[in-house]
Chain A
Amino acid sequence: MSASLVIRGLRKEYRPGVPVLRDVSLEVGGTGMTAIIGPSGTGKSTLIRCINRLVDPTAGEILFGGQDLARLKGRALREARRRIGMVFQEYNLVERLSVIENLLCGRLGYVPAWRAWLRRFPPQDVARAFDLLDAVGLGEFATRRADALSGGQRQRVGIARAIMQDPELVLADEPTSSLDPKTSVEIMELLARLARERGIPVIVNIHNVELARRFAERIVGMSQGSIVFDGPPGELQENHLLAIYGGQGWLDA
C-alpha cells in the first residue's frame, strides 16, 4: 500500500523553545481510518491542523500528492486544502447559513466568490449536496438554519461538508468529544462508512480509546508531542496506554 501522506520531522513551537510537536514522523496509507489517541495538550490537534495548514509548522515536511504542504502558499495552499476535508470537534458550521449552504461550503475551493454570493452553485454540486444530505439522514433539513440542529445532526452536516469536497484525505479533530456516547458511535459509524465507500483515508483525533479500537484499523498513540505507539488496535495493550497517558489509577476499575 502506497502512502498518501508522509510526515517527516514535523515540529511546531507556538512559543520559541517550547515544542508542542517534537519531530513527528508518520505515514498514512491510501485508505482506512487512523486514530490518533493521547492526553489533552499533547499536540494531536496541532498535528492535524498542520496537515491542512490551519496551523503553520515550525519545521519538517508534509508530503501529500507530490507536494510539501508545509511550504505551500496562496493559491497552491488553497488548492491543496480543497483536497483535504476537515471535521471539527464543535462542528464549526456557519450557524446563520442553512444546512444545504453549509454543505455547499465544501465546494468553495472550486466556486468563485460571486457565484457563492448569489448562491449560483453549479447544479451538479447542488444535486450532490442533496444526495449526501440523504446519505447522512438529514434530507428533511436542507433549508433549516444550521443553528436549529442538535449536536449529532450538526456533526453529520460537518461530515457531509467535508465529503462534499470530494477529498483525498479527511481529517477529524475530536469529532465525537462534544456528543453523547450513543451519538458518538453513530457519528464514527457514519465517518467510517462514508470513508470506506469512497475509499478516502481518514485521520481522526479521538479521546475515546474504545471508539478508536472499534473503528480504526490503526492506532497512533501520542505523548508529549511524540509518537509512542503505532500499530493495529489488537496490539494496543495496557502498558502502551500507560506510556501514552501516564499514571496508573485510571486503568483499574
Chain B
Amino acid sequence: MSAAAARTPFPANWTARLLWSALALYVLYACGILDVSWDRFVRGLDNGGKFLGRMFPPDFSHQKLELLRVGMVESIQIAVLSTAAGIVLSLPLGLLAARNLMPGWVSWMARGTIALCRSFHPVITAILFVKAVGFGALAGVLALVVASMGFISKLFAEAIEEMSLKQVEAVRATGAGFFNVLVMGVFPQVIARFIGFCVYQLDSNLRNSTMVGIVGGGGIGATLFTAYQRFDYDFVLTILLAIIALIMVAEIVSAQLRKAFQ
C-alpha cells in the first residue's frame, strides 16, 4: 500500500459512533415503553370521532357569546397590560445587562435576573402568582410580565452588545453624559429592533394569555377550561375559533407595526 493510500482522509470518530449508537438504543427503548398498539390507535380514532361529532355545530347562543366576549376582552387586556409593563421594565433591565455599557458586576446581576425570569414556563409562573395573589386576571398579568421581561430584556441586551461602538465613542467624545450617550448614540442603533421584540412579545402574550387562564390566571383560558370540564364541546369549538381569529388578527397587526417602525 502506498503512503498516500494509507492516510485516511476521514478517520473514524469512535466517540461519535458510540454516542450515536447510545442514542439509537435509547430511542428504541423509549418507543418500547410508549405502549402504542393498533388496538389503542383504533379506539383513539373512535373517541376522536365522537369528540369531533359533539363539537358540531359550534354553540353561538346569546348567553355563550356573552361569556366568550367577556373572556376574550379579559385576555386581550391581560396581553396588552403585561406587554406594556414588561416593556417598561425591560428597558432598564436590558441596558443593565449589556456588557459593553455596564461594569461586569452590574451586567451579571441583571443577567441573573433575566435568567430567573426565563427559567419557568409562563404557566408555572402563573400557578405561583395564583397562589400569591389569588385567582383572576392579576395573576395572569403578573405571570406574563415576568415572561415578557425575560424575553425582551435578553434580546435587547444582545442587540445593544452587537451595536457599533464607533458611533457611541463619537457621542461620548463630545462630552455627553451617560443618558445623552444612550439617547443619541445607543437608542438610534437599537430602537428598531427593540420595537420588533416588543411587537413579537405582544403577539406571543396574546397567545399566552389564552393559556394562563387554564391554571386560574383569568381570561378566555378559564372559560375554555370550564367548557372542557362541563363537556360543552360545542362551546369549546366556538372558543377555539375565536382564539384562532384573534391570533390571525394579531399577526396582521404586528406585521403592520413592524413595517411602520423599520
Q: Given A90-B166, A165-B175, are A96 and B183 also a contact pair (CB < 8 Å)? A: no
Q: Do A54 and B183 touch (CB < 8 A)?
A: no
Query: Which segment, of B96-104, B123-131, B153-161, B184-192, faces chain A?
Result: B184-192
Given A97-B188, A108-B171, 15 more A-B residue pairs with CB atoms under 8 Å apart are A52-B173, A79-B175, A82-B176, A83-B175, A86-B170, A86-B173, A86-B174, A92-B166, A93-B167, A104-B184, A105-B176, A109-B177, A111-B180, A112-B180, A113-B177
The 9 closest A-B pairs by CB, nearest first: A82-B175, A109-B175, A113-B179, A108-B176, A81-B175, A92-B170, A108-B180, A86-B173, A96-B188
Confirm or deny: A211 has a beta carbon within 8 angstroms of a beta carbon on chain B: no
Q: Do A113 and B183 have beta carbons less than 8 Å apart?
A: yes
A89-103 vs B, Cβ < 8 Å mask (1 yes, 0 no): 010111111000100
A54 to B182, CA, bound (A): 17
Closest to A106 in B: B174
**For the complex, would chain B's binding face be called helix, strand, loop or mixed by DSSP majority?**
helix
In the complex, chain A residues whose CB is within 8 Å of the CB of B179: 112-113
> How far is the CB of A230 from the nearest CB of chain B, in Å?
26
Complex Cα distance, B170 from A109, in Å, reads 12
Report the nearest A residue to B170, measured CB to CB: A92
Contact B188 A108 (CB under 8 A): no
**Are B172 and A105 neighbours in the complex by a CB distance under 8 Å?**
no
B193 to chain A, nearest CB (A): 11
A71 at the binding interface (Cβ < 8 Å): no
B162 contacts partner chain A, Cβ-Cβ < 8 Å: no
Residue of A nearest to B178 (CB): A113
The answer to whether A94 and B172 touch across the interface, beta carbons within 8 angstroms, is no
Within 8 A of A (CB), among B183-228: 183-185, 188-189, 191-192
Decide if A108 touches B169 in the complex (CB within 8 Å). no
> In the assembly, what is the distance between CA of A28 and CA of B123, in Å?
66
- Contact A80 B175, beta carbon cutoff 8 Å: yes
B172, B173, B179, B189 — most chain A CB neighbours (10 Å): B173
Q: List residues of chain A with CB under 8 Å of any chain B CB.
A: 52, 54, 75, 78-86, 88, 90, 92-97, 101, 104-109, 111-113, 116-117, 158, 161, 165
B194 to chain A, nearest CB (A): 12
User: Which chain B residues border A109 with CB–CB below 8 Å?
Assistant: 174-177, 180
Contacting residues, chain B, for A90 (C-beta < 8 A): 166
Closest to B171 in A: A105
Knowing A54-B173, A109-B174, say if A92 contacts B184 (CB, 8 Å): no
Task: Report the interface size class on chain B.
Answer: 20 to 34
B101 to chain A, nearest CB (A): 15
Assembled-state Cα–Cα distance A83/B164 (Å): 24
Q: B170, A116: Cβ atoms under 8 Å?
A: no
Known pairs A78-B176, A108-B175; A94 contacts B188 (CB<8 A): yes
Across the interface, which residues of B come within 8 angstroms of A165, CB to CB?
174-175
CA distance A174 to B171 in the complex (A): 18
> What is the CA–CA distance of A52 and B171 in the complex, to the nearest angstrom?
12
Contact between A81 and B173 (Cβ–Cβ < 8 Å)?
yes
A101 to B176, CA, bound (A): 14
A/B interface sample: 18 pairs, CB < 8 A: A54-B169, A81-B175, A82-B175, A93-B167, A93-B170, A96-B188, A97-B184, A101-B184, A104-B184, A107-B174, A108-B175, A109-B180, A113-B180, A113-B182, A116-B180, A116-B183, A161-B170, A165-B174
Given contacts A54-B169, A88-B166, A88-B170, contact A94 B184 (CB under 8 A): yes
Are B185 and A81 touching (Cβ within 8 A)? no
Q: A108-B184, A113-B180, A116-B180 are in contact. Are A95 and B172 (CB under 8 A)?
A: no
User: Which B residues are in CB contact (< 8 Å) with A52?
Assistant: 173
Q: List B contacts of A93 (CB < 8 A).
A: 167, 170
In the complex, what residues of B have CB within 8 A of residue A85's CB?
Answer: 173-174
Specify which chain B residues have a CB less than 8 angstroms from the CB of A97 in the assembled complex.
184, 188
C-alpha spacing A81/B166, complex, angstroms = 16
Bound complex: CA of A165 vs CA of B172, how far in Å?
12
Contact: B175 with A78, CB < 8 Å?
Answer: yes
Distance (Å) between the CB of B95 and the closest chain A CB? 13
Minimum C-beta distance from B187 to chain A (A) = 8
The distance from the CB of A44 to the nearest CB of chain B, in whole angstroms, is 16
Q: A97 CA to B186 CA in the complex, in Å?
A: 11
Q: Which residues from chain A contact B174 at a C-beta distance below 8 Å?
A: 81-82, 85-86, 105-109, 161, 165
Interface flags for B88-125 (1: CB within 8 Å of A; 0: not) read: 00000000000000000000000000000000000000
Residues of B contacting A112 in the complex (Cβ-Cβ under 8 angstroms): 179-180
- Shortest A170–chain B CB gap in Å is 11
